[in-house]
Amino acid sequence: MKISKIQELLNAEVLCCPESLDRHVYSACGSDMMSDVLAYVKDQAVLLTGLVNPQVIRTAEMMDMICIVFVRSKRPSLEMIHLAEDNGLVLLTTEMRMYDACGTLYTNGLIGKKVEHV
């Protein structure tokens, strides 16, 4: 699925890196706990979260993600946007709650990967 399709499905606003909306993603995860993302997430291209702090950007970068969707109309700081730009991460924000946003993406074909316990 293209990031532009995610933007459309979630009625999301692009906050950063609109030139990368044509990139394809094949999986996603939703979490507000970055420790869980680091421990259990492998090969996820999109992170959906309601957490708004620079650690989210750093975690996504470490995990080779290419897009972060902030749910519940959360907005990252200017510092976070600059950090995302430096790393080529697309940032989106949607009014949807995480449950609804994840469900919408899942029912439209964007899957998660099976959790591998460490």
The tens-digit pLDDT sequence of the chain (118 residues) is: 999 999 999 999 999 999 999 999 988 889 988 888 888 766 668 999 999 999 999 999 988 899 999 999 999 999 999 999 999 999 999 999 999 999 999 999 998 766 555 5
Does any domain span residue 30?
Answer: yes
Does any domain span residue 94?
Answer: yes
pLDDT of residue 36: 81
pLDDT of residue 1: 93
Does any domain span residue 7?
Answer: yes
Centroid of chain to Cα 101: 11
Domain that holds residue 26: 3-107
pLDDT of residue 114: 60
CATH number for the domain that contains residue 38: 3.40.1390.20
Q: Count the domains in the chain.
A: 1
Does any domain span residue 116?
Answer: no
Per-residue CA distances from 46 to 22, 23, 95, 101 (Å): 14, 11, 17, 12
Does any domain span residue 113?
Answer: no
First to last CA, the chain: 28
Does any domain span residue 27?
Answer: yes
Does any domain span residue 60?
Answer: yes
Q: Quick one: which of 4, 25, 11 has its CA closest to 97?
A: 11
Does any domain span residue 80?
Answer: yes
